[in-house]
Amino acid sequence: MPNDNIFSGLKVVDFASFIAGPGAAVILSDFGADVVKVEPPKGELWRIGQKIPPQPNSDIAYPFQLANRNKRSLTLDLKSPSASAVLEHLVKWADVFIVNTPHPARKKLKLEYDDVAQWNPRLIYADLTGYGEKGPDASLPGFDITAYWARSGLLSMTRDAGSPPTWPVAGSGDNATAVAIYAAIVTALYRRERTGKGSYVTTSLLAAGVWSASVFIQAALCGANFYGLHDRAHPVNAALNVYRSSDGTWFLLVVTPDKIPAVLKAMGREDLLTDPRFSDPKKLAENRPQLTAMLDEIFGSKPMSHWYEVFNGVHVTFGAVRDPQEVINDPQLRPNDIVVPLEGAGDKLNSTISSPIQVHGVSKVPAKRAPKIGEHNDEVLAELGFDAKAINDLRASGAIPQVRQSEKATMGGGR
């Protein structure tokens, strides 16, 4: 790895599964950290995430690739008595240890902070939970759709009046939480630089969700008056609404009061400024549905390309609603390294989404495919100090499985 990578030499053990914990490890790997992903003998379930509806179906393990690029894979059966020796060596080797195993199971597997920190007082132990470590529901299992979206209040607010809550995009809350646990890790690393001490850092899907919903949650904390759910046909503010152009493109429009005259002039509808129905705040409040209907007709008369020029010409904030197939062709993605090349994952998966952090003057590590199950068992164990006989003994005990070549080629591997 290039020496200018920020985390070159940083050693990370990723014991986490699915997205949030592994996603934090991906960000560290993007900046040069050496990440060893520890999985059960058959690999983690997210290796077949693309087969679990409603994720888009594919024969390519794209969810696992996204959450595990640049890593090495070590398979370890923690239920085997011999596994404790490997765990101890891993902890002594590591700078960062990421885990999201539910605490009751974690306790049985001896993966709690007190179990491992005794071996490495400089360790940064990153704990990710669904609902936090304390409280009546600390032991509940949680995914981003239940903890980040539903319980945080986000899901109740991201819908129109009269509509039931919808199913959120899987992984969106996980990835936001990944940035949070990454930030906690980096904060602890900075503390270690100053004090030499390790840390136990944590966040939860619920904490990240409430933080994302914090404007409205803070409003609730101070007893603010809520307007209710958004109603597109009867908006609280017609200048902050969703409209559709003649080519069927929906777009969000955000026009601040100081911009309204310029926008109406660019639209050729300055007459609305003196329309008696909208001439003062009281009348405008009474006639917002009529104004919205008029704007619907105006915006529906021209394609999105026309409104792009109009809004851009007066520096108004707007955003066209794009689907995934359109997003991948967005001209902003590649120049800003949001989408980058992916090495080794096959011709059908030759690019991936980079982590959303850039440091000017520092290049990220080129993205490389996620590992096959146990692909680096011998390599990692040798680095940890196990000789050939000790590795064979671990296999004989069942702590390290003998992975067949046919298994290596499946569930998230490369070509």
Half-sphere exposure of 369 (CA within 13 A, CB side): 22
385 CB-contact burial (10 Å; exposed 0-12 / middle 13-18 / buried 19+): exposed
Cβ contacts of 290 within 8 Å, gap of 6 or more:
277
Task: Judge whether 60 and 348 are in contact, CB under 8 Å.
Answer: yes
Of residues 58, 76, 131, 126, the one with CA closest to residue 97: 126
Instruction: Return the structure tokens found at 342.
Output: 């992916």
Q: Order the strands of the 339-343 sheet from edge to edge.
A: 351-353, 339-343, 367-368
Residue 368's DSSP bridge partners are: 343
Per-residue pLDDT, 315: 95
The full set of domains in the chain, from first to last, is: 11-212+338-408 (3.40.50.10540), 240-327 (3.30.1540.10)
Task: Judge whether 342 and 349 are in contact, CB under 8 Å.
Answer: yes
First to last CA, the chain: 23
Half-sphere exposure of 366 (CA within 13 A, CB side): 9
Tell me, what DSSP letter sits at residue 150? I
CB neighbours (10 Å) of residue 161? Answer: 11
Of residues 362, 331, 345, 260, the one with CA closest to residue 61: 345
Average pLDDT per consecutive 10 residues, the chain (415 residues; last block may be shorter): 77 98 98 97 95 94 97 96 97 98 94 97 97 95 95 95 93 97 98 98 98 97 95 94 98 94 94 91 91 97 97 96 96 97 95 96 96 97 97 95 55 46
Q: How far apart are CA 357 and CA 354, in angstroms?
A: 8
Total-model pTM: 0.92
Quick check: helix, strand or coil at residue 366? Answer: coil
